[in-house]
Amino acid sequence: MNGAAPPAIDVNHAGQSFGDRVIFEDVTFTVATGEIFVVLGGSGCGKSTLLKQMIGLLPPTRGRITVGGHDVVSDVDAVRHEIGVMFQSGALFGSMTLLDNVMLPLLMFTDLPVRARMEVARLKLALVGLDGAINLLPSEISGGMAKRAAIARALALDPPILFLDEPSAGLDPITGAGLDRLILELRAALGCTFVVVTHELQSIFAISDRCVMLDAAARGMIALGVPQDLQRTSDNPTVRAFFNRDAGS
């Protein structure tokens, strides 16, 4: 008899404090395999902190988080084999071509020969629409191309789970919409699970299966569900204001 598939990510009563300062507490949700899950909220609510917890960079001060079935504290090395991360700035190495940037994880974590590493990197760049830019430096490409290159690098080791930190930040609406389409295409083609940190409302509605909303004043989560449902039915004024772009009086 087959049971339900375990979640790709399980965040169980997670909290984070720095001394007496509580960032958030009692954050609980799961992310299903193949889901595009968005973490959202206003400035200072803990979105980036939660992301750091999930990728094993910051141990939660309370609660437990598992990624791919591995505890982010006690089994962090295994977690890092399950994930790829695109950081907000892209974090590309400026002195390296896009091809070399994408080849770097393959150099560090595999025994593939140079020719094989180059072929894999070419394929990843082609997957994000950059097959004609492999020999360019980050300074020679647009912001949208840099985001795509960073996603290609996150895909280099074929991780089942991808974390994207503010992928649309700083992009014009047309470029941002193209990046949203890319995320949906990658999910369809690869079956990856995505966790996306963003406050871009159009992107949230375009790509998100479900989302969790954090709030600085509440020091925790104030909403969990399908964005369109939260927009229509939430009785929390902060949630309603966010999803309806209501700045108040």
**For every one of its 249 residues, what pLDDT tens digit does the chain have, with 9 covering 90 and above?**
456 678 999 999 999 999 999 999 999 999 999 999 999 988 889 999 999 999 999 999 999 999 999 999 999 999 999 999 998 777 899 899 999 999 999 999 999 999 999 999 999 999 999 999 999 999 999 999 999 999 999 999 999 999 999 998 888 899 999 999 999 999 999 999 999 999 889 999 999 999 999 999 999 999 999 999 999 999 999 999 899 876 553
The pLDDT of residue 1 is: 46
* pLDDT for res 3: 60
Model pTM?
0.92
CB 42 within 8 A of CB 194: no
Q: Indicate the fold that domain 1-82+159-249 takes in CATH.
A: Rossmann fold (3.40.50)
Domain locations in the chain? 1-82+159-249, 92-154
